[in-house]
Amino acid sequence: MPNIKSSIRSVKTDAERRARNFPVKTAIRTISRKVAEAVQAGQVEEAKTLLTKASSIIDKAAAKGVIHKNAAARKKSRLAQKVNALAQ
């Protein structure tokens, strides 16, 4: 535990921020896994609908500042590549 007053406050706010960000990151991982599972199973239509939902969740996380906008773009691109490879 820190001794400096500002550091003590930082520990508290860091914990609050982590608690707020954790469910958003969990949602991103869950929807990404669902897209990957749909691709693995060969379900094209379900993968496409899940991809749009995943893109929305990822964009919202980037807008909130939970993840960086470039990280969001990278995640969406990789998911889209998987779905597009399945569609062809």
> pLDDT tens across 9-42, in order?
999 999 999 999 999 999 999 999 999 999 999 9
Instruction: State the Cα–Cα distance between residues 49 and 31, nearest whole angstrom.
Output: 11
pTM (two decimals): 0.89
Domains with residue ranges and CATH for the chain: 5-87 (1.20.58.110)
pLDDT tens figures, 45-84: 999 999 999 999 999 999 999 999 999 999 999 999 999 9
CA gap 13, 77 in Å, rounded: 32
User: Which tokens in the block code for residue 5?
Assistant: 């007053």
Output the CA–CA distances (angstroms, integers) from residue 62 to 14, 70, 81, in the order listed: 18, 9, 20
pLDDT at 67: 98
